[in-house]
Copies of this chain bind each other. A is one copy, B any other.
């Protein structure tokens, strides 16, 4: 069955039937607007992301279930980067009428599975037809106490620069999908891991919230366009700079296996490859031990990878202290 046969209201009912109630939801899907109540004393966090077929994803590579998960994960990651608690989401889809219903069903299952895991309720959206590309727009709403919210602008000179998890896996996963002839020495498990970091990135919501609520960090952002570009936003908004140590970048075993001799392209992917959806944050040096312990409790690693400088310039240095100039400065639409 194709979407064209189901019709707009059939599609909405189909998606809505899987949506669960959530904290603070007074009226969910089905009225002109959703009605929700913030928890007492909380401020509202809002972000929105658009994913376009053949620009952000290809159906050839992205199975619909994981595409659904990733569509929401990218938005939850924005709330995590503010130290917020993700609460509610709205999902809009512009769908070519020829789209198989199974594709949309699997997409919705994936989206709602991650929503459920993260305690996020689907409260609204829009569906319409499109000519030839599937376009997905996700809005996420979260909340946090005003004094706990972490912005990009709070970094201080001398702060450590940290990242959670590992970098470059998603970018390498994309290369593996694009070029079957590279990294042939990788095992099937290693390939699977790297590709799944691209197709199903885990949003660091628990980690971002925990760091914010413990008051340990001065600035935070999610790494969606590459660490260099994204730390660049912290630097710019804090009117500071920073030095990132390439030998300190956390790399997964699979990533290391792909680059046994550590060529420049390895740094390139880890520094400027997009879609890792890890968190980059800055914190006073005195918080180092507490941060490592807190992240352990959240089930992930975090590594200090550099230092915030008063000089408003972001540089990357090799292990010998020499400067590394990346070819690629991060993803830029239209560029």
Contacts and interface: CB of A to CB of B under 8 A. Distances in A.
Given A48-B124, A52-B129, 14 more contacts: A7-B334, A11-B334, A32-B78, A32-B81, A32-B82, A35-B45, A36-B46, A44-B44, A48-B90, A48-B139, A50-B126, A97-B334, A132-B133, A135-B135
Nearest to A96: B334
A77 B33 CA distance: 10
Interface of A: 3-4, 6-9, 11, 26-27, 30-38, 43-50, 52, 54-56, 77-79, 81-82, 84, 88, 90, 92-95, 97, 123-133, 135, 137, 139-142, 146, 149, 151-153, 220-222, 237, 332-335
A126 B46 CA distance: 12
- Which of A79, A151, A333 has the most chain B CB atoms inside 10 A of its CB? A333
B48 A146 contact: no
A35 B137 contact: no
A152 B34 CA distance: 12
Contacts of A128: 50, 52, 55-56, 333
Given A92-B137, A135-B135, A129 B334 contact: yes
Contacts of A92: 48-50, 137
Contacts of A6: 334
Nearest to A221: B32
A229 to B, nearest CB: 10
Contact of A82 (B35, B82, B125, B335): B35
A26 B43 contact: yes
Given A149-B35, A237-B30, A48 B97 contact: no
B32 A222 contact: yes
A175 to B, nearest CB: 21
Nearest to A225: B8
Given A26-B146, A79-B33, A151-B31, A139 B90 contact: yes
A37 B147 CA distance: 13
Nearest to A27: B151
Nearest to A224: B32
28 contacts: A6-B334, A7-B333, A8-B335, A11-B334, A26-B146, A31-B237, A32-B78, A32-B82, A33-B46, A33-B79, A33-B81, A33-B82, A33-B140, A35-B43, A35-B82, A37-B146, A46-B123, A47-B90, A47-B124, A48-B92, A48-B124, A48-B126, A54-B131, A90-B139, A126-B137, A130-B133, A132-B133, A135-B135
